[in-house]
């Protein structure tokens, strides 16, 4: 992880993670569909979800797969992956997997998901190359991530910091190609709407790891800035995701 800020963030957020990140069952269903459309998981496939968090998407992917290995470095997040014979928890980071520091339950994987994880990973080209070696022939690696610019109703300093820190999906596609995968980049959008107070509460809870870089006073000023910009009862915006699909020969 990129230092203690991120690790502490997810350890602290774990209990509220699904509440703040699932947004709605419709969103999770939509996202699971976008993932499955690309990974094309079938019942014999063994899947690995790297940085699975609470297993929000691993749970849905298990419906299609023989098994889903759920890899996550934050113990409180991993503890929330539901027990189930198809979901296999492994405490590790993407970097650990890439260099073979942890034993994994299968010899290779048909499909790999990295959803909103790579911005936490250092030396991404090497990690992507190491992870690509875990794919079976014809295996698929899907990176789901935000673009470098987002239209979230955050305060200006948060949006600026986001753009400064977020890797470019096109670069990830390039890293996949350097790792010997065929890579394809597509985008999909979902309309989100929240009662304004609910969204402000999520920001106040630092629902995005980005917000952990602001202290309490900065966050309070940020929430006031959002409230001034959104005086109505609801906040609506479009959430756009990049999907980078790499396929091994």
Ligand X SMILES: C[S@@+](CC[C@H](N)C(=O)[O-])C[C@H]1O[C@@H](n2cnc3c(N)ncnc32)[C@H](O)[C@@H]1O
Which chain residues interact with ligand X by CB under 6 A? 1, 6, 10, 21, 50-53, 56-57, 72-74, 77, 93-95, 115-117, 120-121
Residue 121 or 181: which CB sits closer to ligand X?
Answer: 121
Distance CA 115, CA 155 (A): 24
Integer Rg of the chain from CA? 18
Please name the helix (run of DSSP H) or strand (run of DSSP E) that holds residue 239, with its range, or none: strand 234-247
Cβ closest to ligand X, residue 94 vs residue 203: 94
Between 56 and 69, whose beta carbon lies closer to ligand X?
Answer: 56
Please report how close the Cβ of residue 134 comes to ligand X at its closest, in angstroms. 14
CA–CA distance, 82 with 242 (Å, rounded to integer): 27
* Shortest Å, Cβ 232 to ligand X: 28
Least Å from the CB of residue 201 to ligand X: 18
Residue 186 to residues 27, 120, 155, 245, 249, Cα–Cα distance (Å)? 18, 21, 27, 8, 20
Strands 135-145 and 234-247: antiparallel
Closest to ligand X by CB, 167 vs 225, is 167
CB 55 to ligand X: min, Å? 8
Task: Say which residue the tokens 């048909």 belong to.
Answer: 110
Structure tokens at 153: 């109703």
Pick 225 or 239: Cβ nearer ligand X: 239
For residue 59, the minimal CB distance to ligand X (Å) is 10
Cβ–Cβ under 8 Å, residues 157 and 129: no
Query: Residue 28: what are its φ and ψ, rounded to 5°?
Result: -65, -40
Q: 215 exposed, middle or buried (CB, 10 Å; 0-12, 13-18, 19+)?
A: exposed
Q: How far is the CB of 212 from ligand X (least distance, A)?
A: 12
Report the Cα–Cα distance between both ends of the chain, in Å, rounded.
30
At closest approach, how far in Å is the CB of 228 from ligand X? 28
For ligand X, the closer CB: 161 or 230: 161
101 vs 182 by CB, closer to ligand X: 101
């Amino acid at each position: 992880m990129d230092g203690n800020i991120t690790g502490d963030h997810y350890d602290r957020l774990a209990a509220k993670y699904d509440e703040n990140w699932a947004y709605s069952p419709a969103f999770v269903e939509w996202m699971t569909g976008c993932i499955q459309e690309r990974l094309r998981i079938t019942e014999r496939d063994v899947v690995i979800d790297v940085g699975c968090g609470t297993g929000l998407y691993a749970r849905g992917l298990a419906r299609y797969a023989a098994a889903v290995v759920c890899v996550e470095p934050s113990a409180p997040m991993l503890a929330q992956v539901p027990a189930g014979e198809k979901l296999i928890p492994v405490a590790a980071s993407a970097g650990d997997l890439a260099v073979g520091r942890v034993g994994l339950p299968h010899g290779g994987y048909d499909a790999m998901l990295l959803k909103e994880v790579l911005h936490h990973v250092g030396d991404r080209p090497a990690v992507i190359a190491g992870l690509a070696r875990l794919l079976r022939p014809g295996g698929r690696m899907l990176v789901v991530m935000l673009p470098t610019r987002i239209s979230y109703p955050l305060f200006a300093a948060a949006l600026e910091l986001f753009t400064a820190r977020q890797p470019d999906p096109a670069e990830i596609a390039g890293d996949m190609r350097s790792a010997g995968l065929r890579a394809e980049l597509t985008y999909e959008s979902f309309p989100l709407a929240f009662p304004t107070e609910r969204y402000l509460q999520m920001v106040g809870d630092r629902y995005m790891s980005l917000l952990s870089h602001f202290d309490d006073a900065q966050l309070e000023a940020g929430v006031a800035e959002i409230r001034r910009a959104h005086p109505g009862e609801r906040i609506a915006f479009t959430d756009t995701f990049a999907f980078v699909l790499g396929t091994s020969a």
